[in-house]
Amino acid sequence: MEEARALRKTLSAAEAHYRRARTLLVERRTPIQETLASVPTPAARKELTDAIARVEEARRRVRRASIVLGQKEGVSLGEMARLWGFSRQLAARYAKEAADE
């Protein structure tokens, strides 16, 4: 939940950069080079990419933990996969990753 909250904040900041760029490009007809130089494009892109990666890693940890819990409760990998909406093979991979840790 913490990573999702952080991603929302990062997305909001990215949206503000996109609005500024749109204003410069569309409304003010500012050249693209000047527009991209005036908004923190590289930093914003990296921040958003990193935030998405952190959310994906958090999702992976939650899935892995739930697979382990499901197995302890006697739920099959196939059923866990169905409940999550992904393949049994992915559920098996999460179970293996958890066992290897």
Q: pLDDT tens-digit profile of 46-81?
A: 999 999 999 999 999 999 999 999 999 999 999 999
pTM of the model: 0.76
pLDDT given at position 101: 83
pLDDT given at position 33: 92
Give Cα separations from 33 to 15, 26, 36, 39, 69 (angstroms).
Answer: 19, 14, 5, 10, 52
Q: How many helices (H) and strands (E) does the chain have?
A: 5, 0
pLDDT given at position 39: 82
The yes-or-no verdict on residue 44 having pLDDT over 90 is: no
> How many CB atoms lie under 10 A from the CB of residue 31?
10
The yes-or-no verdict on residue 89 having pLDDT over 90 is: yes
What is the percentage of the chain residues whose pLDDT exceeds 70?
100
CA-wise closest residue to 51 among 7, 5, 2, 1: 7
What's the rounded Cα separation, in Å, for the pair 12 and 15?
5
Q: Are 42 and 49 in contact (CB under 8 A)?
A: no
The yes-or-no verdict on residue 28 having pLDDT over 90 is: yes
CA-wise closest residue to 99 among 65, 58, 55: 65
